[in-house]
């Protein structure tokens, strides 16, 4: 069996400073966020080397148009509904690092308490209240398994929201106690998504506004 080369957290920080794209750090591997695959060792080694030239880098996977619309819709809705509330919203580029797992994740949306936000020396958020991932076919397995397990291990987290981009479907994992969670699924555009950790409700129709290609035709 071929041994898989692993990298340090400092290697990861150096890599993301040089390479354009979005990446996560999981168990010593640098993961291309939107492809949900490990970056090739030879490419990582080149980026970390003294011979690095940014003009020779390949194009990394980027989020889809639908992904961007969904994140934008949610950020706007959260901003409107949480105005004057003690929460702060970050989207797409803010890194998350928990004390209980040696990984850097990049959720699509992070919500924290304004007065109790904790960050590492490198500005990674450590104590989110709510996390959102907009998943595709390439990221679905990781979002529903590995990330679910990682996020549920964060003591501060109260809700993890998964939003599909190929159909109207929102899944909310809600903490009931330290080790108990419930799952609630919304699939109808006339339904209202309940986010109890923030004390707000969001209409499914508003989340998927502007994405006609995946919405059912109007009667």
Task: Tell me the CATH number at 149.
Answer: 3.90.1570.10
Could you say which DSSP state residue 58 is in? P
176 found inside a domain: yes
Domain count across the chain: 2
Query: Tell me, what's the pLDDT at 2?
Result: 59
2 found inside a domain: no
DSSP H or E run through 171: strand 170-175
Query: Tell me, what's the pLDDT at 137?
Result: 78
d(CA 56, CA 19): 11
* CA distances (Å), origin 54, targets 30, 37, 139: 18, 21, 27
72 found inside a domain: yes
Domain span at residue 114 reads 65-214
- pLDDT by position in tens, the chain (length 219): 557 899 999 999 999 888 878 899 998 999 988 888 899 999 999 999 999 887 777 778 778 899 999 999 999 999 999 999 999 999 878 999 877 667 899 999 999 999 999 999 889 999 999 999 998 877 888 888 888 999 999 999 999 999 999 999 999 999 999 889 999 999 999 999 999 999 999 999 999 999 977 666 544
Which string of DSSP letters, residue by residue, matches 36-54? TEEPPHHHHHHHHSTT--G
Q: Are residues 132 and 197 in the same domain?
A: yes
d(CA 125, CA 105): 10
Classify residue 77 as left (phi > 0), alpha (psi -120 to 50) or beta.
alpha
Q: Which of 36, 56, 76 is the last residue of a domain?
A: 56
174 found inside a domain: yes
- Edge to edge, the sheet with strand 37-38 lists 37-38, 29-32, 23-26, 103-104
100 found inside a domain: yes
d(CA 158, CA 131): 9
Q: Are residues 180 and 89 in the same domain?
A: yes
20 found inside a domain: yes
* CA distances (Å), origin 51, targets 43, 54, 163: 12, 10, 41
Query: Tell me, what's the pLDDT at 100?
Result: 66
Q: Are residues 50 and 133 in the same domain?
A: no
Q: Which of 37, 56, 75 is the last residue of a domain?
A: 56
The 10 Å Cβ neighbour count of residue 101 is 17
Query: Tell me, what's the pLDDT at 20?
Result: 79
4 found inside a domain: no
Identify whether the C-beta of residue 11 lies closer than 8 Å to the C-beta of residue 104.
Answer: no
3 found inside a domain: no
Q: Are residues 51 and 137 in the same domain?
A: no
Q: Are residues 198 and 154 in the same domain?
A: yes
Query: Tell me, what's the pLDDT at 144?
Result: 85
Q: Are residues 110 and 205 in the same domain?
A: yes
């Amino acid at each position: 069996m071929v041994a898989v080369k692993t990298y340090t957290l400092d290697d990861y920080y150096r890599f993301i400073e040089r390479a354009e794209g979005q990446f996560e750090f999981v168990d010593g591997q640098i993961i291309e966020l939107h492809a949900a695959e490990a970056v090739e060792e030879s490419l990582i080694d080149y980026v970390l080397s003294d011979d690095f030239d940014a003009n020779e880098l390949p194009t990394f996977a980027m989020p889809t148009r639908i992904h961007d619309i969904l994140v934008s819709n949610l950020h706007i809705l959260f901003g409107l509904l949480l105005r004057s509330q003690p929460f702060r919203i970050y989207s797409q580029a803010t890194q998350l690092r928990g004390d209980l797992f040696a990984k850097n994740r990049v959720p699509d949306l992070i919500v924290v308490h304004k007065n109790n936000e904790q960050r590492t020396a490198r500005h990674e958020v450590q104590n989110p209240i709510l996390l959102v991932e907009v998943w595709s076919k390439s990221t679905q397995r990781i979002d529903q398994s590995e990330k679910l397990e990682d996020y549920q291990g964060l003591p501060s987290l109260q809700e993890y929201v998964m939003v599909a981009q190929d159909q109207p479907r929102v899944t909310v994992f809600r903490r009931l106690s330290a080790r108990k969670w419930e799952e609630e699924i919304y699939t109808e555009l006339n339904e209202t998504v309940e986010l109890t950790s923030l004390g707000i409700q969001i209409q499914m129709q508003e989340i998927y506004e502007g994405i006609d290609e995946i919405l059912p035709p109007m009667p």
